[in-house]
Amino acid sequence: MVNQLQQRLIEDQKHSAPELDPTPGRSKFVLVYHRSPYDDHVDASGCREWVDQKSPNGIIPTLRNLFREERSGTWISWREDPEAATPDERDSIDKDGLCFNLRRLPLTQEQISSFYHVTSKESFWPILHSFPGLFSVDNSDWPIFEEVNRSFARAACEEAAPGATIWVHDYNLWLTPGYIREQRPDVRIAFFHHTPFPSNDVFSILPWRDAILDSLLSCDLVGFHIPRYANNFARNAMNLRGVKGAEPIPVDGKFRRVGCALAEPTAVPWLEHEGRKVHLLSSPVGTSPQTLRDIAASAEVRTLAAQISEQHSERKLILSASRVDYTKGNEEMLLAYERLLEQHPDWHGRVELFLACVAAATGMRIYEDIQRSVEEIVGRINGRFGRIDWTPIRLSTLRVPYEELLAWFSEADVCWITPLRDGLNLVAKEYIAVRQGRGGALVLSEFTGVSVELEQALLTNPYSHRSMDAAILAALEMPEQEQRERMAAMASTVDTFTVQHWAEEQLGALRAL
């Protein structure tokens, strides 16, 4: 069924776009996200072309599509500038039926490295994912983080019309809502948190916790993937800042209430701070399932899928896709696979694992150490068990083209997604979308946000050898009929709670305030 947002988008496409006003301060809708909606390419003649993102299923296309409804809105992002001495760059985007303003803030490579790769990744990332032992404050430069967030807030305030809606995204812009509220009490501010939000005892490690909470509490709406993260934020705000919280209410029916690590039976719907209600809304980001299926049905992907099928005929194919990160559990998964081959020699020559584990490009030593460990474990397993006609693991540390990855999804008998902690995990949903109408088994960590949506997945505890071993064996031995029944139920969830549904729910809630 076409939802209301999609209907509005279809109607909007029937009408020509209005002329964009080049003067700042006219946008009723301002979206603040560090990434640009398009990549820009300048040809030899100096003409700029806006180029689409390589992956059609990221958050970027969905956020862009909001401007079908919010005509003449503004997107604010950064751009790298060696000197950062130039003013903000402001362009009018007229592409793919979309018309909006793009304002890009000039940041030097040093600012980007400090703000994003160091403070965000070395200080915030381990806390957000509950790895306090990896927290580092040594290299963090809080004044630069504040400076960059002030720049985003300044641009948002200059672009926003009176009473406008400003939607800020993700933890690297934690301070932006507070700076906006100081300058523009008239606007409505929403924030969406794309990562986990940790428990009170872990979040409290951050030296800047009060400033972060005070900024988020200046919003009208703060969104999270699942109720656990919303409740964690509420407890932090109540315990550390003394705000008043509403009585918890039962969580929405789309969420699991009991039975896994991240389940919550109730959620705090709002907090009261300085005379304002801060509404909390849990809605997980989804995929664009029909888009994925259309790509998977293309001649190019079908050809790749046929080649994969031929290479793995009469063998169970397990697929896992992630990146090199201590949160992703790649080493734990590989050790479980090694135990499978040790304890069940009858699977020798009958199963293969394709691990697409994209290497990090930040130069951080911890990621380099993890990549080295993954490669060593893969080499050991292939050396111990491999035969001239069988290689147990195929490892790719290069980014797999999206079309090729969908081909692997379409042919994989098992998708093995077992991070130690993950805010949501869209790979699991992508696999389900592509496998519509077929069998397949999903082995899923109960510490991923998506685990509270997909009740028919084989949930496992990646910290437990026994749990991991039982889950992968159950997936390999699952009868075809059970596979189809589970996959059909999960496909219904994926088809209902799409990325369009997520955007409509978040912005709809803000408009209803």
Rounded Cα distance between 500 and 480, Å, is 32
Domain with 81, as residue range(s), is 26-286+499-512
72: left (phi over 0), alpha (psi -120 to 50) or beta: left
Stretch (H or E) spanning 484: helix 480-496
Q: What count of residues does the chain have?
A: 513
Cβ(136)–Cβ(79) under 8 Å? no
pLDDT at 58: 66
pLDDT at 22: 46
Asked if residue 20 is part of any domain, the answer here is no
Tokens describing residue 469:
């071993």
278 and 307 fall within a common domain: no
Asked if residue 3 is part of any domain, the answer here is no
Cβ(412)–Cβ(440) under 8 Å? yes
220 and 235 fall within a common domain: yes
Tokens describing residue 93:
């985007």
Phi, psi (rounded to 5 degrees) for 223: -105, 145
Asked if residue 266 is part of any domain, the answer here is yes
Q: How buried is 108 (Cβ within 10 angstroms: 0-12 exposed, 13-18 middle, 19+ buried)?
A: middle
How does pLDDT run along the chain (513 residues), one tens digit per residue? 334 333 433 343 333 333 344 456 789 999 999 988 888 777 666 677 787 765 544 678 878 878 876 667 999 999 887 765 678 888 888 887 788 999 999 998 888 889 888 899 889 999 999 999 999 888 789 999 999 999 999 999 999 999 999 999 999 999 999 999 999 999 999 999 999 999 999 999 999 999 999 999 999 999 999 999 999 999 999 999 999 999 999 999 999 999 999 999 999 999 999 889 999 999 999 999 998 999 999 999 999 999 999 998 889 999 999 999 999 999 999 999 999 999 999 999 999 999 999 887 666 788 999 999 999 999 999 999 999 999 999 999 988 898 999 999 999 999 999 999 999 999 999 999 999 899 999 999 999 999 999 999 999 999 999 999 999 999 999 999 999 999 999 999 999 999 999 999 999 999 898
DSSP-derived secondary structure letter, 256: -
Cβ(65)–Cβ(58) under 8 Å? no
Phi, psi (rounded to 5 degrees) for 190: -120, 150
For the beta sheet containing 74-80, the strands, ordered from the edge strand earlier in sequence to the opposite edge, are: 89-95, 98-107, 74-80, 27-32, 160-169, 188-192, 221-224, 276-282, 270-273, 244-245
Cβ(159)–Cβ(22) under 8 Å? no
329 and 448 fall within a common domain: yes
pLDDT at 85: 61
Q: How buried is 375 (Cβ within 10 angstroms: 0-12 exposed, 13-18 middle, 19+ buried)?
A: middle
Give the count of domains, the chain.
2
Tokens describing residue 409:
């999804």
pLDDT at 362: 67
255 and 314 fall within a common domain: no
Asked if residue 65 is part of any domain, the answer here is yes
pLDDT at 313: 87
Tokens describing residue 1:
């069924």
Asked if residue 115 is part of any domain, the answer here is yes
Question: Whose CA is closest to 35, among 209, 152, 137, 177?
Answer: 152
123 and 160 fall within a common domain: yes
Rounded Cα distance between 4 and 512, Å, is 15
pLDDT at 14: 34
Asked if residue 452 is part of any domain, the answer here is yes
Rounded Cα distance between 262 and 226, Å, is 8
Q: CATH number of the domain that 138 lies in?
A: 3.40.50.2000
**In degrees, to the nearest 5, what angle opens at C-alpha 292 toward C-alphas 65 and 509?**
40
404 and 466 fall within a common domain: yes
204 and 345 fall within a common domain: no
In this structure, which amino acid lies at residue 500?
Answer: Q
456 and 360 fall within a common domain: yes
Asked if residue 17 is part of any domain, the answer here is no
249 and 356 fall within a common domain: no
247 and 357 fall within a common domain: no
Asked if residue 343 is part of any domain, the answer here is yes
**In degrees, to the nearest 5, what angle opens at C-alpha 131 toward C-alphas 243 and 470?**
115
Stretch (H or E) spanning 94: strand 89-95
The SS3 assignment for 8 reads: helix
pLDDT at 21: 44
505 and 464 fall within a common domain: no
Cβ(427)–Cβ(415) under 8 Å? yes
The sign of the torsion formed by the CA atoms of 212, 218, 219, 222 equals positive
Q: What are the helix (H) ranges across 217-364?
A: 227-241, 289-296, 299-311, 330-343
Burial 306-344 (b: 16+ CB within 10 A, else e): eebeeebeeebbbbbbbbbbbbbbbebbbebbbebbeeb
SS3 track for 310-336: HHCCCCEEEEEEEECCCCCCHHHHHHH
pLDDT at 294: 94
Give the Cβ contact number of residue 125 at 10 Å: 19
267 and 329 fall within a common domain: no
